[in-house]
Structure 1
Amino acid sequence: MKIGIIGAGKVGGTIATLLESCKFCKNVALADVRPGVDLQGLKKSKFARVDVNKPAELAAFVGGRDAVVSAAPYFLNKTIAAACAEAGVSYFDLTEDVETTTFVRGLAAKHKGTFMPQCGLAPGAINIVGGSLASSLENVRTCEMRVGALPLNASNQMKYYLSWSTAGLINEYCQPGDALYGGRRVTTMPLDGVERLTVDGVEYEAFNTSGGVATMGETFAGRVQELNYKTLRYPGHRDLMKFLLHDLNLAPRQELVTQIFDQEVPLTESDVVVFYVSVVGTDREGRLKQRSFIKKMHGAVIAGRKLNAIQLTTAAGITGVLELFAKKKLGPGFVKQESVSLEDFLGTQWGGKVYGG
């Protein structure tokens, strides 16, 4: 399979790294507007300089691929998805942006190919796990999904360092989310719904952010009483973000906040991903059950490249989905994350290595 990746940053490069060992992948074209992308150790990959905002360049890159992955900033995904639709090429992305997902869904209704947004960590793997656990019970009271990409150590006031897309981080802090309450879809406000939980003796705070529920609200409406997604952080982080974005009214100025974070908040390579899903409901015999999937995942050195935890878990999510696509286990049209079974996902090379065990 010939795969194109647009966005040769940390996650895009990590996806190419994982694809090196995948038998289903013949070659990778790694595109970015920036020159000088490091391809050391990536024998399957070739670099292509592409400006997404130049239609001819984008169309030329997309044509001839079996699948295109957008690892670009979320605000470029509509343009990339539209180019894939016009070329009849299947499209995958990592977006947490709800508006982008709605746009991609509209494209899928009118064009051939597979269109599967939200394929990373959260949304992505969290929905595969949450959907599978919820589907394993007859009647579900609660489905709680929690994910945090956190520094292993932090000494600053907000107890946080950057480890992934700053634009995506700020966007999910500013946009409303989706949830189920009483079996009905409701809108959640960002940074609200604060709670505390402990995993392996470490206390975290959890609060509402956008995108993590993906399409599960639609899928499980009327079948699950309460379903929600929250971001995990070390205690105290949420209050500072609330002050910055709400009290100082900077939420409408996401580009400015992103610029400040990129300039002043350090980027860490020492991180951990905390992954938590808990489902409570009754089985077919009417017995009340609690089922969970809880992991702490760290980075690794793969193909001579040091990958941090958020890079590895995000790339493993979409690489696993690409393997299922290559095996024709994904249908055409718009594909939801929760339509993928956990068994199939853990049966893939990288889904199993990173999320299994």
Structure 2
Amino acid sequence: MKVVVLGTGMIGTTIVSEIAKFEGIESVMAVDVRQESIDNCLKIARNPKVIGKTTSLSIEEDFINVLEGADVAVGCLPHSLSLTAVKAAIASKCHLVDLVGSMFIEKMELHTQAQEAGVTIIPGCGVAPGITNFLAAQGIELLDEADEAVLICGGVPRWPVPPLWYQVVFRLESVLGLYTKPAVAIKNGEIIEVPPLSELESLTFPEPVGACEAVITDAHSTAFTLKGKVGNLTEKTVRYPGHWEKMKVLAELGFLDHNPIEVQGVMTAPVKFSEKILSPKMKGVSNEDVTVVRVEVNGTKDGKAKTYTWEMVDVYDHERNISSMAKTTALPAALAAKWIAEKKISETGVVPIETVIVNDRFAPFLEALKELGIHIEMKD
């Protein structure tokens, strides 16, 4: 079985390392635009199955050139390249597990093409979207009638420092996208858009997190796939107390706007200026982080009120020497790719993770994640 991993940043490198360890994997091609990134990936993976390849990854043909002949690919790319990767995977007749959950409607429009090509495309297969999605779907399946599903996730520093009490693990550009884009949710059975940074909620997670806050962020595919199965559904992102209020002030003042303005004769988007200013303020004092997940589904079972809750508190992985967010994002995608290769996932088309890791596949997938070091507990 031949695997291609598109992108060798922190997540891509983790996926390369983990997939190469799986039985039945013949080779793993690590693809990136930068040779330096590939060299670092090969150094970390330290596996003879892994080879590297540089390419521009700017047009669909670039992707096709590296996907042809492969069995499964995993996309670890910026959002702007995700749809191109999906199209190329279909054209190459290569299964694809994609970390990116955005542009879901555009990807679903390719469902029939993917089916005709006989390939499986799983979009948004990380921690959120990803783990949160199939936990919510399973909770809904367990109920006779589901009233509400709340999907909560967030990555926070193990040792937070002022003024923002947050450290960037991946791309700040992606983080700020959460703060500026309207969030899709389900309210009273209908899909709606909620303003960014809205519905602030205080909550608590077990140590080492403690008190924190969450606001509504985009529910990605679940707003569409679970509509009609649950009355209300929202996804929320966690930060330490005070962070959201400070970011909301910046948003209200226009510092997160994308429309360019003139500064001393140069046209600049305020958000790009803000990225430069905020980046050093979000470095943190340590690479150690914590990822939290809580998915709660309420409804009725056998005529009685019933709630299903799953929770995860995951810390920096010292054995692998990777952040918790890297681990909890990479391993679900690596495992899904493995299951496709083993034909444990056989559906073709564009199939969101919450439509395949449910019912009979749910417990085995959770157990496999546990064996890889991700522990998700069902709470009474």
Do they fold alike, i.e. is TM over 0.5? yes
Within 1, Cα distance between the matches of 2:199 and 2:295? Answer: 17
1:122-158 residue CA offsets vs partner (Å, 9 max, x unmatched) = 0011101111112111111221110010101111211
Asked which structure has the greater CA Rg, the reply is 2
Q: Is the 8 A contact 2:74 2:334 kept in 1?
A: no
> Quick one: which of 207, 212, 232 aligns to 1:204?
212
Distance, in Å, in 2 between the alignment partners of 1:31 and 1:350 is 28
The answer to whether residue 47 in structure 2 is matched with residue 26 in structure 1 is no
Classify the secondary structure of the residue corresponding to 2:21.
coil
Note closer, same or farther for the CA distance 1:49–1:259 as it changes in structure 2 (3 Å cut).
Answer: farther
Residue 332 of structure 1 and its aligned partner are, at CA, apart by 0.3
User: Bigger CA drift: 2-11 or 173-182?
Assistant: 173-182
Match of 1:326 among 310, 330, 341: 341
Alignment of 1:197-346 (within 5 A): 197-200=203-206, 202-210=210-218, 213-252=219-258, 253=269, 254-262=271-279, 264-266=281-283, 268-283=286-301, 285-302=302-319, 305-328=320-343, 329-339=345-355, 340-341=357-358, 342-346=362-366
CA distance in 1, matches of 2:186, 2:58: 37
Pairing 1:148-227 to 2, within 5 Å after superposition: 148-200=154-206, 202-210=210-218, 213-227=219-233
Gaps of at least 5 residues in structure 2 are 259-268
Structure 1 counterpart of 2:89: 84
TM-score by structure 2 length?
A: 0.86
CA distance in 2, matches of 1:55, 1:256: 31
Letter paired with 2:336: V
Match of 1:53 in 2: 58
Structure 1 gaps, min length 5: none
AA in 1 matched with 2:85 = I
Contact 1:133 1:279 in 2 (8 A): yes
> Are the aligned partners of 2:164 and 2:282 in contact in 1 as well (CA < 8 Å)?
no
Could you say which residue in structure 2 is the equivalent of 1:348?
A: 368
Provide the rounded CA distance (Å) in 2 between the counterparts of 1:96 and 1:349: 20
Q: For 2:299 and 2:331, locate their aligned partners in 1 and report how far apart those are by CA, in whole Å.
A: 29
Larger mean CA deviation between 191-200 and 82-91 belongs to 82-91
Is the contact made by 1:150 and 1:233 (CA closer than 8 Å) also made in structure 2? yes
Aligned length: 350
Superposition pairs for residues 32-43 of structure 1, below 5 Å? Answer: 32-36=32-36, 37-38=39-40, 39-40=42-43, 41-43=45-47
Does the aligned pair in 2 maintain the 1:27–1:45 contact within 8 Å?
yes
Query: What is the root-mean-square deviation of aligned Cα atoms in Å?
Result: 2.0
Moved segments of 4+, more than 6 Å: none
Shift of 1:115: 1.2
Assess, with a 3 A threshold, how the Cα gap between structure 1 residues 250 and 214 changes in structure 2: closer, same or farther: closer
